[in-house]
Structure 1
Amino acid sequence: MKNIKIVIGFIALIIFGACNEDFLDKRPLDKVGSVDFFKSPKDLEAYVNQFYSFDVVTSIWGSDYSTDNQISRDISTLLEGTNIIGDAVSPNFNQVRSINYFLDNYKRIEENAELEEYQQYLGEAYFFRARIYFNLLSTYGAIQWYSNEVGTESEELYKPRDPRNVVADNIIADLDKAAMYLTADKTDGASRINKWMALLLQSRVALFEGTWEKYHNGTPFGVNDSDPDKYLNKVVEATTAIMNSGLYDLYSTGEPNSDYYHLFNLRDYSSNEEVMFWRKYVPELGKGEPWHNWSKNYRMSTVDGHSVTKGMADSYLCTDGNPISGNPLFKGYTTLSDEMQNRDPRFYQSIAPPDAPWKVGDGTTQNWSEVYDKLNSGTEYHSPSGYILRKSYNENLIYHAYNVEETPGIIYRYAEVLLNFAEAKAELGTITQDDINISIRKLRDRVGMPNLVLADITIDPEWDFPDLSSRINEIRRERRVELLAEGFRLFDLRRWAAFDEVIVGKRPKGFLASQIGENPYPVDEDGFLDPYQDIIPNGYAFKIDRDYLNAIPKSQLELNPNLTQNPGWNE
């Protein structure tokens, strides 16, 4: 019974949920899992199809809440430092068990099929195991690596954690195998995973681990015998292969004032040169998702408490490629329209300007000015910072229907490849202007911004990371701007060990309160919205010696005496 409890609790499903004892007596997938099942490539395909519906292939829209990019009415408990062990959720391993069942048994079909007939599904299995384990690694750090299906009576259930770099190495090795077996065709990007998606994920994992080991070195979150450069070189290798494939590029129609905005609200990405993997939604087949209703509800009809921070808005450069500090091109904060003048076009393509269309339909057009006129006048129009996220929004009413939203979801896009490449080269200290020209320059060319010239970077007194090189600061800024609201910022701040620099002791601000009428939020001494002033007068209290990793519940430590708690959670 003790073994069963461990499987239920600590070796359970990565999609957090209940599990029962009956499950432990069944194969990982009832409807296809039997000792006689794997007889043909179609059987393998049917088995791996289950993983396409899990969160390993959800859209990129994880949002940037619990970071310095976005805020809502409610303060993040992570940033506030108020999470407790009692709130902890157990690491869940049932997906690991399910995918290991596949890898342990797929060879049964060797008598009936050649490798080339089923290698795509084998590659997918390695990809999914890597993605599942990356979720665990980024959340809990060091974790047990299981390369085979573990039985309910196995002593392996009581094994201690493997070092986090061992887990990272295994993830990267799985993705090498995935890239070897998966198709090298681009495909339509919405059906099956290909080689290039595996390499993109590999670059993401390697960048995460490489920078984690570099910036957490010497802290309780570091690792013994760390080797950040090993991982950073792997990033360069993986991204260079994708770039050299010639299969992908940035989406552009030659309209710098709208291309970035339109990329995120297209109806189909089958032939899109930038979107590597995406998900179709077909309402009549019941394939919509709550994310789409969320998108419609708070951005089609109301604001509903969601907003972008002033710190994020200030990060957009002026059109000369220099920061706003001391720049004569910057027109000040008097109005949002003033603030957006002479700025990187991604500013007004990501954050709603008053004169942009909000609703278009039935021959009429409403502008965002109508929303700003109502801002903070009632609960549904509350925006703590005032800046309203526009990115991924489509103003055409014909494309929105309650509960059957059909907007497709982007999962992987080529812009991340370019950003990962540039950051890894900068962290290695080997970046050249030629490297910038094939990466950052392409992102800036799309929106008509000047290239980043390494020999001519303007010092910004407001850099988030003043102790780091100007090159790293500007590449991190580019990443922040390009990937706003795509769910990367929390992972970035964690791997950079950056919460002490951008979160602790700080409060998020908004635009000048004088721009709106009724306002329930406090303002600071300069008149900017300061929504959390009364709640956290001393700023966020994220615990830098604890909160970079989630806690393991005490019950799991009791069940397996070989487990150890994450740093800072024993107090």
Structure 2
Amino acid sequence: MNKFISIRLFIGILAFSMVACNDDFLEKTPETDIDAGSFFNTEEDLNLYVYNLYDFPSTGIYTDDAYSLTDNAFSTGNVELKTMMTTNPSSTTITSGWAKEDWEQLRKANFFLENFNKASISQERLHHFEGLARFFRARFYVGKVKRYSDVPWTDKALSQDSLDVLFDERDPREIVISKIMEDYEFAMNNVDVSVPNGAVNRWLVKADYARFLLYEGTYRKYHAELNLSGSAADLLQKAVDVAKDIMDNGSFNLYTTGKPDQDYSSLFASADLSNNPEVIFGRFYQANVLNGDSGENLFGNYETYPVKDLVQAYLMKDGSFYSSQPNYQQNQFVAEFNDRDPRLYQTFAYPGWVLVRSGTYAQGAGLYVQQLAKNFSGYHQIKGFYNTTDQDVRNNMDVPLYRFAEILLIYAEAKAELGQLTQGDLDITVNKLRDRVAMPHMTLGAPVDPVEAAKFPNVTSGQRAEILEIRRERRVELALEGRRYDDLMRWEAGKFLEKEPQGIYFASLGKHDVTGDGIPDIYLLPASQSIPEKKETNSLGKVLQYYRVGTFGQDVSVFLGGTNSGNIQIIENSGTFVAPKYYYRPIPQQQMQLNPNLKQIFGWE
């Protein structure tokens, strides 16, 4: 199959949306109030309706780590959790997630399930379509459980005007999860294996199910407030089983051509992932038919940017901890990239990298020199950034949403959490990932990195060292793909977000080389000095980039941690993460007034 098939699939989604606006058919009634006798008659009808349930992300995965707030990336924008940690939040200020439109996906899925079996097709095909709708219902409820924990469960197609008042009371988390698992299980056993590229198939269902099982299993293990730790092992074992099924029977493999400095990054800048052996599911684009492009703001100093804590997570090229390097915290930009895991250079703009696409970058194209600014880290992301001026090339780029690499990590982590991890397990999971980038293998009984141990003091099991290193591997492999927030939440690591995020380190004021050629590129001045009208040029004839540095409250270009040296400072106060309260969100007060049966939990008012 090729990507053109998947383009047609998404055009089908658009076609359904256009039908939904037709004056003679759907405008008089909501789309989920379609007369079943007029619509649910053929397989084409079912396909059109199901396409309208597709709710997968796209290039937004590359900024999710920042917009959800993590230790991987930060945002200058209005991030919900950042606001919560720096204010006094309540159900009157946290108001998203429970409005009528937030339940629309559930209503559409349930309406389909009430009417799909009227189509004149075989029972096998009916089971396939039922599995698809139940898959999307499961995904919907996973999102609601992550946000609220206890939520009302319904399998009825509620009327459009009653969503905000019809629900009775919240069902306990364990009941909702059992319903979610029933939906996943049905879908896993009935959705077709072979479908047009870009459509939901059985392997995607299993991958999404495995992702959820790991989430819920570890969430229950580490969140004592739920009183559900006794059921964590069963969920983790199920995650192992589903992941292993994908590994053994799914015909997926890690993408590699034997180029450790290129293969990883090529997954995130590819014009055709439709036949890539690693991609279980992706978003596929075709220039001038269905345009992609991650946008210039991904690289430029717009709202999101990676931070130092992620840089420091990558191992050295020889497999040793970066934190074992003498005075590693005072390494300047060029030194930070010396002899590191090759995935670092394929995720971050590095010394010597050349910028081609410079639309939002004031310093323009050419050899990469940091454009520093207040509240930004000085690091820039190249993972998912399409570094070309050819718009058609950028519009043609595909996005890998579910990778086989994640399945390997799910299997390894679940085994370690169960205390069952063997060297053989590592060799078919983590070490496959390391082989791709020519990194040394992970072994059982590896030493504990004190930096990682300090982040996760609640990891106390017999395979503690292995859990910590698998978490590192997961962080590095899936960096800036939108998985980190869920990881921190399920590991009960929200308090770590109180640590103020930092940017690159400068050992002094004055001139600094950031390209690695030994020639200065940046000139830092104290707050007391003005930037001269006639700026100095370096030996290459390039004008130095001048910045006045100081502390918060001063009128300067960059905030620095110390008077004459330190890390770039991003935010003056990260705030307080109140546990367990901030692992959840309140039901908005307006909805509570509409339905008095709803009750707040975990300290929300």
TM-score interval, smaller chain: 0.7 to 0.9
The residue type paired with residue 105 of structure 2 is: Q
For the residues of structure 2 that align with 1:314 and 1:62, how far apart are their CA atoms?
A: 19
The residue type paired with residue 473 of structure 1 is: L
The residue type paired with residue 566 of structure 2 is: F
Q: Give the counterpart of 1:183 among 186, 192, 201.
A: 192
Structure 1 counterpart SS, 2:356: strand
| Length, aligned pairs only | 516
2:597 corresponds to: 562
For the residues of structure 1 that align with 2:154 and 2:337, how far apart are their CA atoms?
A: 51
1:26 corresponds to: 29
RMSD: 2.9
Q: Write out per-residue CA displacement over residues 183-228 of structure 1, whole angstroms, 9 at most, x where no aligned residue.
A: 223x5642x11111101111111111111111111x2xx1457511
The residue type paired with residue 521 of structure 1 is: V
Structure 2 counterpart SS, 1:547: helix
For the residues of structure 2 that align with 1:494 and 1:467, how far apart are their CA atoms?
A: 13
Q: Write out per-residue CA displacement over residues 138-178 of structure 1, whole angstroms, 9 at most, x where no aligned residue.
A: 11211111123235679992421111122122112211111
1:170 corresponds to: 179
The residue type paired with residue 494 of structure 1 is: M
Query: What is the CA-CA distance between 1:344 and the residue it aligns to?
Result: 0.6
- Kept after mapping to 2: 8 A contact 1:333/1:339: no
Structure 1 counterpart SS, 2:355: strand
- Alpha carbons of 1:156 and 1:560: their partners in 2 closer, same or farther (altered >3 Å)? closer
Comparing 306-315 and 332-341, the one that deviates more: 332-341
The residue type paired with residue 258 of structure 1 is: Q
2:482 corresponds to: 487
2:585 corresponds to: 550
**Pair 1:507 & 2:504 matched:** no
- Kept after mapping to 1: 8 A contact 2:203/2:250: no
Q: Give the counterpart of 2:285 among 246, 259, 281.
A: 281
For the residues of structure 2 that align with 1:414 and 1:257, how far apart are their CA atoms?
A: 19
Comparing 129-138 and 463-472, the one that deviates more: 463-472
Q: Give the counterpart of 1:394 among 386, 394, 402.
A: 386
- Kept after mapping to 2: 8 A contact 1:62/1:486: yes
The residue type paired with residue 561 of structure 1 is: P
**Pair 1:122 & 2:130 matched:** yes
- Kept after mapping to 2: 8 A contact 1:164/1:223: no
Structure 1 counterpart SS, 2:400: strand
**Pair 1:131 & 2:139 matched:** yes
Query: What is the CA-CA distance between 1:77 and the residue it aligns to?
Result: 4.7
1:3 corresponds to: none
The residue type paired with residue 296 of structure 2 is: K
Q: Give the counterpart of 2:223 among 198, 202, 216.
A: 216
**Pair 1:528 & 2:566 matched:** yes
The residue type paired with residue 265 of structure 2 is: Y
**Pair 1:465 & 2:469 matched:** no
The residue type paired with residue 311 of structure 1 is: D
For the residues of structure 1 that align with 2:163 and 2:266, how far apart are their CA atoms?
A: 53
Q: Write out per-residue CA displacement over residues 254-309 of structure 1, whole angstroms, 9 at most, x where no aligned residue.
A: 00111111111011111100111111223423x336xx35x32342xx33353211
Comparing 90-99 and 258-267, the one that deviates more: 90-99
- Alpha carbons of 1:28 and 1:144: their partners in 2 closer, same or farther (altered >3 Å)? farther
TM-score (norm 2): 0.79
**Pair 1:336 & 2:333 matched:** yes
**Pair 1:64 & 2:65 matched:** yes
- Alpha carbons of 1:229 and 1:349: their partners in 2 closer, same or farther (altered >3 Å)? same
For the residues of structure 2 that align with 1:528 and 1:33, how far apart are their CA atoms?
A: 66
The residue type paired with residue 93 of structure 1 is: W
- Alpha carbons of 1:242 and 1:156: their partners in 2 closer, same or farther (altered >3 Å)? farther
Query: What is the CA-CA distance between 1:394 and the residue it aligns to?
Result: 2.7
- Kept after mapping to 1: 8 A contact 2:62/2:383: no
2:297 corresponds to: 297
Query: What is the CA-CA distance between 1:562 and the residue it aligns to?
Result: 1.6
Query: What is the CA-CA distance between 1:335 and the residue it aligns to?
Result: 3.7
The residue type paired with residue 123 of structure 2 is: L
Q: Give the counterpart of 1:238 among 242, 265, 268.
A: 242
For the residues of structure 2 that align with 1:70 and 1:461, how far apart are their CA atoms?
A: 19
Q: Give the counterpart of 2:350 among 339, 353, 368.
A: 353
**Pair 1:496 & 2:491 matched:** yes
Q: Write out per-residue CA displacement over residues 408-467 of structure 1, whole angstroms, 9 at most, x where no aligned residue.
A: 222211111111111111111111111111111111111111111012335434532245
- Kept after mapping to 2: 8 A contact 1:550/1:566: no
The residue type paired with residue 297 of structure 1 is: N
Sequence identity (%): 32
Q: Give the counterpart of 1:263 among 264, 267, 279.
A: 267
For the residues of structure 2 that align with 1:236 and 1:117, how far apart are their CA atoms?
A: 29
- Kept after mapping to 2: 8 A contact 1:319/1:343: yes
- Kept after mapping to 2: 8 A contact 1:81/1:543: no
For the residues of structure 2 that align with 1:141 and 1:134, how far apart are their CA atoms?
A: 9
Whichever of the two has the greater Rg, that structure is: 2
The residue type paired with residue 512 of structure 1 is: Y
1:142 corresponds to: 150
- Alpha carbons of 1:55 and 1:255: their partners in 2 closer, same or farther (altered >3 Å)? closer
The residue type paired with residue 491 of structure 1 is: D
The residue type paired with residue 182 of structure 1 is: V
Query: What is the CA-CA distance between 1:122 and the residue it aligns to?
Result: 2.4
- Alpha carbons of 1:439 and 1:522: their partners in 2 closer, same or farther (altered >3 Å)? same
- Alpha carbons of 1:35 and 1:61: their partners in 2 closer, same or farther (altered >3 Å)? farther
For the residues of structure 2 that align with 1:133 and 1:435, how far apart are their CA atoms?
A: 32
**Pair 1:103 & 2:113 matched:** yes
- Alpha carbons of 1:59 and 1:194: their partners in 2 closer, same or farther (altered >3 Å)? farther
The residue type paired with residue 473 of structure 2 is: E
For the residues of structure 2 that align with 1:326 and 1:559, how far apart are their CA atoms?
A: 57
Stretches of structure 1 lacking an aligned partner (at least 5 in a row):
1-22, 377-381
- Alpha carbons of 1:59 and 1:130: their partners in 2 closer, same or farther (altered >3 Å)? farther
Q: Write out per-residue CA displacement over residues 312-355 of structure 1, whole angstroms, 9 at most, x where no aligned residue.
A: 11000011212122347x98754423211111111111111131
TM-score (norm 1): 0.83
1:6 corresponds to: none
- Alpha carbons of 1:155 and 1:474: their partners in 2 closer, same or farther (altered >3 Å)? closer
Query: What is the CA-CA distance between 1:103 and the residue it aligns to?
Result: 1.0
Structure 2 counterpart SS, 1:129: helix
1:4 corresponds to: none
Comparing 543-552 and 82-91, the one that deviates more: 82-91
Query: What is the CA-CA distance between 1:398 and the residue it aligns to?
Result: 1.9
Query: What is the CA-CA distance between 1:383 and the residue it aligns to?
Result: 6.9
Q: Give the counterpart of 1:405 among 392, 395, 414.
A: 395
- Alpha carbons of 1:281 and 1:210: their partners in 2 closer, same or farther (altered >3 Å)? same
The residue type paired with residue 468 of structure 2 is: N
For the residues of structure 1 that align with 2:312 and 2:275, how far apart are their CA atoms?
A: 35
For the residues of structure 1 that align with 2:132 and 2:59, how far apart are their CA atoms?
A: 16
Structure 2 counterpart SS, 1:177: helix
Query: What is the CA-CA distance between 1:102 and the residue it aligns to?
Result: 1.1
Structure 1 counterpart SS, 2:39: coil
Q: Write out per-residue CA displacement over residues 223-266 of structure 1, whole angstroms, 9 at most, x where no aligned residue.
A: 45751111111111110110011411111110011111111101
Q: Write out per-residue CA displacement over residues 513-561 of structure 1, whole angstroms, 9 at most, x where no aligned residue.
A: 354431523222493334245x31xx43122232111111112112222
- Alpha carbons of 1:426 and 1:189: their partners in 2 closer, same or farther (altered >3 Å)? farther
The residue type paired with residue 144 of structure 2 is: L
